[in-house]
Amino acid sequence: MTARPQNRLQTNALCAELTPAQIDKLACLARSEHHTAGTFVFREGELATDLYLIDAGRVGLELCSPRGVHTIDTLDRDDALGLSWMYPGARWLFDARATEPLDLVVIDGQRLHALCEQDTDLGMRLMRAMAREVIERLQATRARLLDFYR
């Protein structure tokens, strides 16, 4: 049985700095999604409208080229899937494909933007958590650029 989005948000690392009242507000914008292994959550070029939080399972960020399908990164429980939703009108840069059965909490991006502007404290805390996620991924990308196993 799928847990309610509110319960899942309470334990998600991205919401660790939010107050219970703020999590309640966020939960009002959230819904649950389940994807079976091999299915796509979104495709490259689609409008990036929502924030996805991974509750269980694993998803691969993929890009296809004449050499094959490149998995750029994999994301697991507690990770935010996709960052492009932060900028209205942006499009996803990669395909997101479930590599295992995947449970997501999906938050409507447009309404989330409005909520962040209305409750600036929530907006600040959420953006700080997103910035930490971005920094961690940037540092990981830099490390991979070193290609130190070669």
User: Which residue, 82, 34, 79, is CA-closest to 54?
Assistant: 79
- The reply to whether 114 sits near other proteins by the rule CB under 8 A is no
Work out how close the CB of 63 gets to other proteins at its nearest, in angstroms, rounded to a whole number: 10
Nearer to other proteins, 4 or 144 (CB): 144
Comparing CA positions, the residue from 66, 68, 51, 52 lying closest to residue 110 is 51
Residue 36 beta carbon to other proteins: minimum distance, rounded to whole angstroms: 15
Which residues have CB under 8 Å from 4's CB, separation 6+?
A: 27, 32
The terminus-to-terminus CA distance of the chain in angstroms comes to: 45
Amino acid in the structure at residue 66: P
Q: Are the CB atoms for 111 and 122 separated by under 8 Å?
A: no
Piece in contact with other proteins (CB under 8 A), picked from 16-24, 64-72, 112-120, 124-132: 64-72
58 counts as binding other proteins under rule CB under 8 A = yes
Q: Tell me which of 33, 47, 71, 108 binds other proteins, using CB under 8 A.
A: 71
1 sits near other proteins (criterion: CB under 8 A): no
Is residue 11 a contact point for other proteins (CB under 8 A)? no
Site membership for other proteins, residue 66 (CB under 8 A): no
> With respect to other proteins, which residue has the nearer C-beta, 20 or 142?
142
Q: Which residues contact 80 (CB under 8 A, 6 or more apart)?
A: 14, 51, 52, 53, 54, 130, 133
Q: Which residues sit at the interface with other proteins, rule CB under 8 A?
A: 58, 60, 67-74, 76, 99-100, 140, 143-144, 146-150
